[in-house]
């Protein structure tokens, strides 16, 4: 047996995320409970070379601002459970709306793959996507697939593999905000990293604090509170 | 400095429009990315989707099409399940003879044979033969509709009605989930953002029958409701009855949602944009295999796991005597007067009480109760099953009442547990138990008294 890595699948509803999950894992699926939570997520294994990828199917969401429990589950998994790779599945036919979620994920974690699904449908509709330009602009691999036809799977699996082995290093390009917001981030960020160290992206936590996301605050308190008291 | 202090500081720096600015920035960047990385060579819109939506979500055709789809789905399930069901029943029945022969060959004591063969074996094989075929047809067909993209259209149609009763349109999606399993559906209500509307969805989900109750509904409908019909017509009438029962459950859902949103859960329904995905050709083989294999199998295993101990328990209670009456009969006689008021009997009431852990076991327990007090016939076909019911004084009214009680009564143990986990409130969990129970008692009571008053029975 080789190494085993956790790969989380995120994406908007109706992007074919479940089709991809089912196609990759086949019948090697089960529902797993993760530590300390009552939430259960579908999981399944993919064998690639001598490595096992444990795929976790996060709930489909339009954003990660914790408006609903589903968004919170997905966000908490990516931020606190720290999968080795997060694959964001986008619908090639409505990319503009879909990128929103991808950009949010890129703020939270480094090892991200942008997986553009339904590429066959998009091509039929005359939508030509230049994944090299997108990779350049985003700083992480962008891959085109068709989950229905199992097209692009070798590329996707190989990219996951090269990220976990360190052959590719992801350097997500952060979204820059208007100057006034950036200034405030600068004021908060050092204090955040002092408090939580390198566990979470200090920039992202600062943004959420400014944003007034109390559910995240409670979550951080719950997870880091014990360390503080010790 | 604690994170709490940091939050306070951040809040002082923050302004009201900050989140809007953040979101806007993300949108602008998405827009720029698309402008740079995407070229459109055709300017065609997906006209097929628009044309189909004009029919499927039309104010005139939308609802009739939905009802027809529902009808076709049930018809396929009922008509298709009959033959494999009786084949399984026959197979298990003939196996029982060998088992009995084996037990007498090894000179096993009577009670061992009673517990293992008459209790455990008969109880569990009945669950399998009655429930497995409908599930193996219902789940894949439902999954195909979902894959094709029809279910979001159902939500779209229902949205208008849900808004009118003060609930959220997404409730129709959680209801659709409830047709599979109410316990899972309670968790699926997380897609509803507003706590008030989410609570409505949780409290009323029980009024759509889960697969644990499909078995009961289908068996009773086909045995008693369509007794005078044969062949294809029989399945059609049975389908009609089931569609009626399901419609009634939906009406109760609307009614309870409406009452609650005017009383305990006051408020204005929030607006949301429901996005309709394009229709997609489903991967037929994958879907069918996956949903019939994994879903049917896991539901069945759950049923067997819960049914086996309950069947043993029922058999033991039926065979331990205090004086010349068994424990089971004491319970049955105690519950009988109340059951009779609802047009049911003590056995049925007891089966529902013992069936709290899982709806799947209500029918097997009822059967065990009847078998232990009736003449032990060979149960190897669905016709014999009807004879057992008739011997215990059943009429179409009994069957109808039992179906309604099954549709409306309290959620199963797992569902209640999930409701508690999701709401973290004993009060709401108790209400989730109380509201359906009261309705489940009232409806059969009114029907029975009315039928008796007019002398129809």
The full 3-state SS of B21-32, as one line of letters, equals: HHHHHHHHHHHH
DSSP A176: P
Q: Which of B242, B276, B229, B333 is nearest to B52 (CA)?
A: B276
Residues B117-151: tens digit of each pLDDT:
877 787 677 767 766 787 788 778 877 887 788 87
**pLDDT reported for residue A146:** 94
Q: What average pLDDT does range B263-274 have in this prediction?
A: 69
pLDDT for the residue A194: 87
Rounded Cα gap, residues A109 and A99, in angstroms: 16
- Residue with more model confidence, A116 or B354: A116
Q: CB A41: neighbour CB atoms within 10 A?
A: 20
What is the pLDDT of chain B when averaged over all its residues?
82
Report d(CA B62, CA B28) in Å as an integer: 37
ipTM entry: 0.90
Burial class (CB in 10 A: 0-12, 13-18, 19+), B38: middle
Query: How close, in Å, is residue A211 to chain B by CA atoms?
Result: 6
- The answer to whether the Cβ–Cβ distance between A178 and B40 falls below 8 Å is no
Q: Specify the higher pLDDT residue, B414 or B106.
A: B106
Q: What pLDDT does A33 receive? A: 53
Instruction: Count how many residues are written for chain B.
Output: 457
pLDDT digits (tens, 9 = 90+) for B193-239: 778 888 999 999 999 998 778 878 888 887 887 766 776 777 788 88
Report CA-CA distances (Å) from A97 to A17, A218, B152, B442.
16, 29, 19, 50
Interface of A with B in 7-26 (CB under 8 A): 13-14, 19, 22-23
Cross-chain residue pair B33–A137, CB shorter than 8 Å: yes
Q: Per-residue pLDDT for B380 more than 60? A: no
**What pLDDT sits at residue B307?**
66
DSSP structure class, residue B345: -
Among B22, B153, B273, B298, the strongest candidate for a mutation testing the A interface, having the largest count of A CBs within 10 A, is B22
Residue A35 has what pLDDT?
44
Render pLDDT for B64-78 as a digit per residue (tens, 0 to 9).
998 888 888 888 877
Contacts of A170 (CB under 8 A, 6+ apart): A110, A111, A112, A139, A140, A141, A163
Cβ distance B37 to A29 less than 8 Å, yes or no, reads no
- Mean pLDDT, residues B243-267: 89
Pairing of strands A29-33, A40-48: antiparallel
Q: Is the pLDDT at B9 greater than 70, yes or no?
A: yes
- Judge whether A9 and A85 are in contact, CB under 8 Å: no
Name the closest residue on chain B to residue A25, using Cα atoms: B290
Return the pLDDT at A160: 96
A residues 45..104 contacting B (CB < 8 A): 59, 65, 67-70, 73, 93, 95-100, 103-104
Which residue, among A16, A89, A131, A188, would best test binding to B if mutated, counting the most B CBs under 10 Å from its CB? A188
CA B126 to CA B133: how far, in whole Å? 12
Task: Name every chain A residue with its beta carbon within 8 A of the beta carbon of B3.
Answer: 195-196, 217, 220-221, 224
Cβ neighbors of B312 (< 8 A, separation 6 or more) are: B115, B119, B120, B123
Percent of chain B predicted with pLDDT > 70:
89
pLDDT at residue number A36: 43
CA angle A172, A177, A183 (to 5 degrees): 110
- For chain A (230 residues), the mean pLDDT of every run of 10, in chain order, is 87 87 81 54 89 92 81 91 95 90 95 95 89 95 93 95 93 92 91 86 92 86 65
Closest by alpha carbon to B247, among B445, B403, B397? B403
Are the beta carbons of B14 and A221 separated by less than 8 Å?
no
pTM of the entire predicted model? 0.66
pLDDT of residue B401: 94
Give which of B451, B441, B442, B432 is closest to B199, Cα–Cα: B432
pLDDT at B111: 79
pLDDT at residue B281 above 60?
yes
Pairing mode, strands A112-117 and A142-144: parallel
Burial annotation A75-86 (CB, 10 A radius, 16+ → b, else e): bbbbbbeebbbb
Q: pLDDT tens digits, residue range B12-23?
A: 888 778 878 888
Q: Identify all chain A residues contacting B4, using CB atoms and an 8 Å cutoff.
A: 217, 221
pLDDT band at residue B181 using 50, 70 and 90 as cut-offs: confident
Q: Do B191 and A14 touch (CB under 8 A)?
A: no
Q: How many residues does chain A have?
A: 230
Mean pLDDT, to the nearest integer, of B247-254? 93
Asked if pLDDT for residue B45 goes beyond 70, the answer is: no
Which chain A residues contact residue B301 at CB under 8 A? none
Q: At what angle do helices A179-196 and B18-37 cross, to 10 degrees?
A: 100
> How would you class A3 by CB atoms within 10 Å of its CB: exposed for 0-12, middle for 13-18, buried for 19 or more?
exposed
Instruction: Say if the Cβ atoms of B30 and A99 lie within 8 Å.
Output: yes
């Amino acid at each position: 047996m080789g190494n085993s890595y956790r790969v989380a699948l995120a994406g908007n509803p109706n992007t074919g995320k479940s089709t991809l999950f089912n196609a990759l894992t086949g019948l090697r699926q089960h529902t797993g409970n993760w530590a300390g939570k009552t939430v259960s997520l579908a999981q399944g294994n993919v064998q690639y070379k001598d490595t096992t990828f444990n795929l976790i199917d996060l709930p489909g969401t339009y954003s990660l601002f914790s408006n609903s429990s589903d968004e919170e589950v997905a966000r908490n998994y990516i931020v606190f459970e720290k999968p080795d790779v997060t694959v964001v599945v986008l619908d090639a036919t409505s990319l503009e709306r879909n990128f929103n979620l991808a950009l949010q994920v890129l703020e939270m974690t480094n090892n991200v793959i942008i997986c553009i699904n339904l590429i066959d449908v998009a091509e039929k509709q005359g939508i030509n996507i230049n994944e090299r330009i997108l990779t350049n602009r985003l700083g992480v691999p962008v891959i085109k697939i068709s989950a229905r036809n199992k097209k692009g799977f070798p590329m996707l699996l190989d990219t996951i593999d090269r990220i976990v082995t360190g052959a590719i290093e992801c350097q997500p390009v952060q979204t820059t905000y208007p100057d006034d917001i950036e200034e405030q981030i600068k004021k908060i960020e050092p204090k955040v990293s002092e408090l939580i160290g390198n566990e979470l992206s200090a920039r992202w936590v600062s943004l959420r604090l400014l944003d007034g996301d109390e559910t995240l605050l409670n979550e951080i308190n719950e997870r880091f509170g014990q360390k503080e008291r010790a | 400095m604690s994170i709490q202090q940091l939050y306070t500081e951040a809040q002082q720096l923050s302004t009201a429009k900050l989140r809007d600015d953040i979101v806007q920035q993300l949108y602008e960047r998405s827009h720029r990315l698309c402008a740079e990385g995407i070229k459109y060579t055709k300017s065609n819109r997906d006209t097929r989707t628009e044309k189909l939506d004009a029919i499927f979500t039309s104010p005139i055709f939308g609802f009739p099409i939905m009802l027809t789809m529902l009808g076709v789905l049930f018809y396929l399930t009922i008509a298709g399940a009959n033959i494999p069901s009786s084949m399984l029943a026959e197979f298990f029945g003939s196996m029982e003879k060998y088992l009995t022969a084996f037990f007498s060959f090894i000179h096993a004591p009577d009670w061992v044979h009673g517990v293992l063969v008459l209790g455990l074996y008969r109880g569990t094989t009945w669950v399998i033969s009655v429930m497995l075929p409908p599930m193996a047809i219902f789940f894949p067909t439902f999954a195909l509709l979902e894959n094709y993209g029809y279910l979001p259209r159902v939500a779209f149609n229902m949205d208008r009605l849900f808004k009118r009763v003060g609930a959220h349109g997404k409730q129709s999606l959680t209801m659709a989930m409830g047709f599979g399993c109410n316990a899972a559906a309670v968790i699926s209500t997380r897609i509803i953002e507003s706590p008030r509307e989410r609570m409505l969805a949780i409290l009323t989900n029980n009024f759509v029958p889960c697969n644990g109750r499909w078995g009961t509904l289908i068996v009773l409908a086909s045995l008693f409701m369509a007794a005078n019909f044969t062949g294809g017509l029989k399945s059609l009438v049975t389908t009609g009855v089931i569609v009626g029962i399901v419609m009634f459950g939906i009406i109760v859902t609307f009614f309870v949602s409406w009452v609650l949103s005017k009383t305990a859960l006051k408020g204005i329904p929030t607006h949301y944009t429901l996005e309709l995905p394009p229709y997609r050709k489903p991967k037929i083989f994958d879907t069918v295999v996956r949903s019939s294999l994994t879903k049917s199998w896991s539901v069945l295993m759950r049923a067997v796991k819960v049914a086996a101990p309950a069947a043993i328990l029922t058999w033991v209670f039926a065979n331990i005597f205090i004086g010349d009456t068994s424990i089971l009969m004491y319970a049955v006689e105690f519950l009988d007067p109340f059951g009779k008021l609802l047009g049911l009997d003590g056995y049925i009431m007891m089966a529902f009480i013992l069936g709290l852990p899982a709806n799947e076991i209500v029918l097997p327990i009822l059967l065990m109760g009847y078998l232990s007090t009736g003449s032990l016939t060979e149960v190897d076909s669905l016709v014999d099953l009807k004879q057992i019911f008739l011997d215990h004084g059943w009429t179409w009214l009994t069957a109808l009442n039992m179906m309604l009680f099954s549709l409306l009564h309290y959620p199963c143990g797992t569902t209640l547990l999930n409701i508690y986990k999701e709401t973290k409130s004993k009060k709401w969990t108790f209400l989730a138990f109380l509201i359906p129970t009261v309705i489940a008692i009232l409806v059969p009571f009114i029907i029975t008294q009315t039928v008796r008053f007019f002398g129809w029975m």
